[in-house]
Structure 1
Amino acid sequence: MLLSISLILILGMFMGWICQKIKLPALLGMLITGVILGPYGLNLLDGSILGISAELRKIALIIILTRAGLGLDLSGLKKIGRPAVLMCFVPASFELLGMILLAPKLMGLSVLESAVMGAVLAAVSPAVVVPRMVKLMDEGYGVKEGIPQLILAGASVDDVYVIVLFSTFVGMMQGEGASILKFVNVPVSIFGGIAIGLLLGVLLAYFFKKVHIRDTSKVLIILSISFLLVVIEDKLTTAITFSSLIAVMFIGIGLQKKREAVAERLSVKYGKLWVAAEVFLFVLVGATVNIEYLGKVGSKAFVVIIGALIFRMFGVFVCLLGTGLKRKERLFAMVAYTPKATVQAAIGGIPLALGFACGDTVLTMAVLAIVLTAPLGAFAIDLSYKKLLNKQ
């Protein structure tokens, strides 16, 4: 395991540095490192690391979402209002609709199989989007207009909505039918996560005011609570649950509102943790990518993915109608809401594991979506934000 950790960190950081030198996103180098080191490449990663890969990726997401919450300025988000809510589900719904319209004609799938594939592909990747929006907030680009806050919040909720849709469509494929409770659980899960996170953030602010401990200890306490929330969500067997990742982000927001100075210091600490967490996240996502599957897709698969992304971008455009955002700011939001990675890596193989006839196709499309949109989306964000957004 120690050799695997060493290879992940050294090669991941080196490849990331190489990509930055040639003006490409560092995550592209990390993804390539994962593909090379992973079981479908040179197979140099220990099985024990791969066995806990999902948990390690979730830890990295917890770190960056907490970091986002500690620095999130809600004033710009409040100014936008309605579009912030629409961004949570409208773009994903448009992409799913695009998949249902295109996949049956171009790939020979049934409408329900296309819906399953659409639910896998429709989620935006917080792993790609959130760190970039945090960077924009740190540098002051688009903050006054609330653009990074809007995308960050939407990306965090978008996944909850899409995963509920995916589980519903999978249930229908297995003959269970659609469950109203699952759809009711979407808003309940979101608002439950917000309420729990804010409450814990306020309680922690009060605790840190009364009990004076080092900032490093505060970070460890917040991380431990975040891990507990994720475990509790995973263990819940009730029909109604809460979103632990949304709760994690709102712990940071609650703490920031009550103890801003502490939140600023902790944000710096989390920024340092992210240096290592980012490498693990994208290298391990890359390790899930089986390049052999890409040989099975033809040009029609590219057309379907790009066509569905156009539907998604149009969904973002619809969300931003009636806002005071300029054309170039809307264009940035449309582009920034396209990258895929974490959700596709997590659930792309489930239909194949369940024995669905479309399973191989779904997994292939999930791999293609990661390879296509994660680096291109990150590159588009990095290349365009200084040109399209105003600096505060």
Structure 2
Amino acid sequence: MLLSIALMFTIGILLGELFTKFKLPGFIGMILTGILLGPFVFNLISDEILTVSSDLRRIALAVILLRAGLSLDIQDLKKIGRPALLMSFIPATLELIAVVIFAPLLFDISYMEAAILGSVLAAVSPAVVVPKMIALMEQDYGQNKKIPQLIMASASVDDIYVIVLFASFLGMYQSGDFSFVSMMMVPVAIVIGIVIGIVIGVGLAAFFAVFRVRDTIKVLVILGVSLFLYVYEEPINTVVPFSALLSMMVIGITFLNQSEERALRLRDKFNRVWVFAELLLFILVGAAVDIELAFTAGGIALLLLFIELLFRFGGTQVCLLGTTLNQKERLFSGISYLPKATVQAAIGAIPLEMGVPHGELILAIAVLSIIITAPIGAIGIDITHKRFLKKG
């Protein structure tokens, strides 16, 4: 087990840095590490690690959501207004619809499995988008129309929306109930998730106001409480529909809106935790990929990705109609909204773990979407921002 951890960390970091040197997202190197070390290639990751890999990926997803919540200022959404709201759900919805229509035609899967696949693929990647947009803000590109803020804020809510849909579709699959009534439970799950997240966030904020502890301890307590939500999500769902993932993000948002200074300190701590969590997440996702199946599905999967990305890009353009953004700025926004990574890595293997018949295929397409779209989005942003956005 120690040898496996040493190999994962060493090779993962080295390949991650190598990809970064070529201006590509480092997590692609980490995924490649997992594929090479995993059971389908060299089989150098011990069974003990693979047995708990699903739990480790869930911890990484909790870190992602808490970081996103601590970064999402509701005031920014209010300032940007209608385009941010529309971009939070329309591109993802159109992308999901495209997968539900075309995936059963291209692969031998049911519409329910296609909906699960679509909800895995539909999220945009904060791991690619947020650092790029922060860099543009620092360089003063697109600041006159708040374009980086628009993309950052919309991407954060886009992830919430898609993750809630993913959890809802999985619940419908498990129960075998795919009906209008079950779809109506989705907004109920959203409302209850928000309420529970706010209550816990306010409670934790009050607790930390009374018991003064170091920020590191606060991070561990918040993460621990979030994992409790994971554990008890299923029992709660037997009573009322509930999204633990949404509650986690709302906890972060509540902290940010109660005390920005404290939230920024905690976000910095979570960023440090993410360095370790990111390494584990992407390596273990890579290790779960059946490389033979990925190659078999390669050409058809690329066609599906191309179709759904067209739907996403078109949805982004529709959201920006009637705004002050010109054609070049709208094109830049569409390119910036293409990359996928963290959410796909965090939830891509869950259908496989839960016994969904084509779970291996869903995971393989999710990983392929990361490998294809993350470089396209990152390079596209770097190439076009000077041509399409105004500086100063």
TM-score by length of 1: 0.84
Structure 1's unaligned 5+ residue stretches are none
**In structure 2, C-alpha distance between the alignment counterparts of 1:280 and 1:364, rounded to whole Å:** 18
Q: Choose which of 126, 130, 144 in structure 1 pairs with 2:126.
A: 130
| Equivalent residue, structure 1, for 2:284 | 284
| Equivalent residue, structure 2, for 1:302 | 302
2:53 is equivalent to residue 53 of structure 1? yes
The question of whether the paired residues in 1 share the 8 Å contact of 2:63 and 2:270 is answered with: yes
Shift in Å, 1:194: 2.1
Alignment-mate amino acid for residue 13 of structure 1:
I
Structure 2's unaligned 5+ residue stretches are none
Matched pairs, number: 381
| Equivalent residue, structure 1, for 2:249 | 249
The question of whether the paired residues in 2 share the 8 Å contact of 1:133 and 1:148 is answered with: yes
2:121 is equivalent to residue 113 of structure 1? no
**In structure 1, C-alpha distance between the alignment counterparts of 2:301 and 2:222, rounded to whole Å:** 43
Q: How does 1:1-392 map to 2 (within 5 A)?
A: 1-103=1-103, 107=106, 109=108, 113-114=110-111, 116-124=113-121, 129-136=125-132, 138-139=134-135, 141=137, 144-145=146-147, 146-165=150-169, 168=172, 170=173, 176=176, 178-238=178-238, 240-297=240-297, 299-338=299-338, 339=340, 341-342=344-345, 345-347=348-350, 349=352, 353=355, 355=357, 365-366=365-366, 368-381=368-381
**In structure 2, C-alpha distance between the alignment counterparts of 1:315 and 1:162, rounded to whole Å:** 20
**In structure 2, C-alpha distance between the alignment counterparts of 1:243 and 1:378, rounded to whole Å:** 31
Alignment-mate amino acid for residue 35 of structure 1:
I
**In structure 2, C-alpha distance between the alignment counterparts of 1:360 and 1:77, rounded to whole Å:** 37
**In structure 2, C-alpha distance between the alignment counterparts of 1:223 and 1:391, rounded to whole Å:** 39
Alignment-mate amino acid for residue 55 of structure 2:
E
Shift in Å, 1:323: 3.6
The question of whether the paired residues in 2 share the 8 Å contact of 1:201 and 1:250 is answered with: yes
Change (3 A) 1:3 1:333: farther
Shift in Å, 1:14: 0.9
Change (3 A) 1:323 1:48: farther
Change (3 A) 1:118 1:254: closer
The question of whether the paired residues in 1 share the 8 Å contact of 2:39 and 2:287 is answered with: yes
Alignment-mate amino acid for residue 135 of structure 1:
P
**In structure 2, C-alpha distance between the alignment counterparts of 1:376 and 1:344, rounded to whole Å:** 21
Alignment-mate amino acid for residue 291 of structure 1:
I
Alignment-mate amino acid for residue 110 of structure 2:
E
Alignment-mate amino acid for residue 156 of structure 1:
I
**In structure 2, C-alpha distance between the alignment counterparts of 1:382 and 1:192, rounded to whole Å:** 40
Shift in Å, 1:6: 2.2
Once the two structures are overlaid, the 10-residue window that deviates more, 199-208 or 81-90, is 81-90
**In structure 1, C-alpha distance between the alignment counterparts of 2:383 and 2:54, rounded to whole Å:** 30
Shift in Å, 1:365: 4.1
RMSD, aligned α-carbons: 3.2
Shift in Å, 1:286: 0.9
Shift in Å, 1:223: 1.1
Shift in Å, 1:309: 1.9
**In structure 2, C-alpha distance between the alignment counterparts of 1:32 and 1:347, rounded to whole Å:** 20
The question of whether the paired residues in 2 share the 8 Å contact of 1:288 and 1:345 is answered with: no
Q: Percent identity?
A: 40
